[in-house]
Amino acid sequence: MKKLLLTLSAVAVLGLAANAQTEKGKFMVGGQVSFDGTKVKDTDIKTNSFSIVPNAGYFVADNIAVGTGIGYNWSKSEIDNLKETTNSSFVLAPFGRLYSKNDGPVKFFGQLSVPMSWGTLEEEGTKTATTANYGVELAPGIAYFPTSNIGVEFKVRGLFYNNSSVTEESTDTKVTTDSYGLNVNSLAPTVGVTFHF
Q: How far apart are CA 191 and CA 194, in angstroms?
A: 10
Q: Please give the pLDDT value at position 60.
A: 97
Q: Residue 93 pLDDT > 80, yes or no?
A: yes
pLDDT for position 81: 65
Radius of gyration, alpha carbons of the chain: 21
The residue-averaged pLDDT of 53-72 equals 96
Is it the case that residue 42 has pLDDT exceeding 90? no
Say if residue 100's pLDDT is above 90.
yes
Out of 37-46, 69-78, 104-113, least confident range: 37-46
Q: Please name the residues in contact with 177: beta carbons below 8 A apart, sequence gap of 6 or more.
A: 163, 164, 165
Which of 190, 159, 156, 197 shows the shortest CA–CA distance to 56?
A: 197
Helix (H) or strand (E) holding 23, with range, is: none
CATH 2.40.160.20, applies to 2-196: yes
> Tell me, what's the pLDDT at 184?
81
- Number of other CB atoms surrounding residue 65 within 10 Å: 24
pLDDT of 13 over the 70 cut = no
**Domain coordinates of the chain in residue numbers?**
2-196
Its pTM stands at: 0.81
Give residue 25's pLDDT band: very low, low, confident or very high (50, 70, 90).
Answer: very high
Check pLDDT > 70 for residue 19: no
Whether 182 and 161 have beta carbons less than 8 Å apart is answered as no
Write down the pLDDT at residue 20: 66
Ordered DSSP codes for 120-160: EEEETTEEEEEEEEEEEEEEEEEEE-SSSSEEEEEE--EEE
Per-residue confidence at 8, pLDDT binned at 50, 70, 90? very low
The share of the chain scoring above pLDDT 90, in percent, equals 64
What is the average pLDDT score of the chain?
A: 87
**Tens digit of each residue's pLDDT (9 = 90 or more) over 107-138:** 999 999 999 999 999 988 889 999 999 999 99
Cα-based angle 88, 89, 90 (whole degrees, multiple of 5): 145
Q: What is the pLDDT of residues 44-54, one digit of tens each?
A: 888 999 999 99
